[in-house]
Amino acid sequence: MARKVAVVDDDREVREFIGQSLEDLGYEVKHANNGLRLVSTLHVDRPDLILLDVMMSWIDGFELCRAIKANPVFSDIPVVFMSGKTSPADVERGLACGAVDYFPKPLDVQKLLHRVQEIVGPPQ
């Protein structure tokens, strides 16, 4: 069974590009344009990894990551931030929320894909 990666970003082009790159490697990809959409699907379609933007509507990525990590049912799902917020303080804040890594935008997609493989293993 293919490993699932949730891509949560309010920018459709970013979501689709990352999603297609992951699918090309064999991962199953779930897309969400905001945190509410992700939360609504976590119980029925649990991902192996969440790639999460910071600046989104409804709830920012930092708050969403904190909420995921505070819920014992989902706290073991690794979260990787992808963000245009790239100051050392932003990176530190993201990791303090419980993320396992933080990638600045514009993304180095090859490094991101390599990191996904390191975290969850090969697609199947």
User: What mean pLDDT is reported for the chain?
Assistant: 96
Quick one: which of 106, 50, 110, 109 has its CA closest to 81? 50
Element at 37 (helix H, strand E): helix 35-42
d(Cα 120, Cα 91) in Å, to the nearest integer? 21
C-beta atoms surrounding 73 within 10 Å: 10
Question: Which token pair is 42?
Answer: 């976590």
Q: What is the domain count for the chain? A: 1
* pTM of the entire predicted model: 0.97
Opening angle at CA 45, ends 67 and 59, nearest 5: 30
CATH number for the domain that contains residue 43: 3.40.50.2300
The string of pLDDT tens digits covering residues 13-34 is: 999 999 999 999 999 999 999 9
Low-confidence ranges of the chain (pLDDT < 70): none
Element at 15 (helix H, strand E): helix 12-25
d(Cα 42, Cα 6) in Å, to the nearest integer? 9
The pLDDT value given to residue 124 = 84
Domain limits for position 99: 4-120
